[in-house]
Amino acid sequence: MSFFRRPDYRSETTEFIDQLKASKPGLEQRQREGRNLLWDKTIDREFAAEAQAARVAQKPYVYQTEPGLK
């Protein structure tokens, strides 16, 4: 190690997160479980393709129901 080397910088945020993880050991596991509830889903590709094919194109001006009406 160099004589002039400074200690590695650690921000207050990093220190806070490390302290939080140390005080609550199951925190990361609970975060993963929460992510699994919302994001990590298997996609039924056949259903997704059917849903995409069933979409109806949106009209350019959505508030006008029939052309020529004012």
Where would I find the H helices in the chain?
12-23, 27-38, 45-53
Amino acid of residue 32:
R
User: Tell me, what's the pLDDT at 2?
Assistant: 74
pTM: 0.48
| Buried/exposed code over 27-49 (b: 16+ C-beta within 10 A; e: otherwise) | eeeeeeeeeeeeeeeeeeeeeee
* Per-residue pLDDT tens digits for 10-51: 999 999 999 999 999 999 999 999 988 888 888 899 999 999
Domain-wise residue ranges, the chain: 12-53
User: Tell me, what's the pLDDT at 40?
Assistant: 81
Tokens matching residue 28: 């990361």
Cα-to-chain-centroid distance, residue 47: 23
The answer, yes or no, to whether residue 4 has pLDDT greater than 60, is yes
User: Tell me, what's the pLDDT at 67?
Assistant: 64
Of 66 and 18, the structure prediction assigns the larger pLDDT to 18
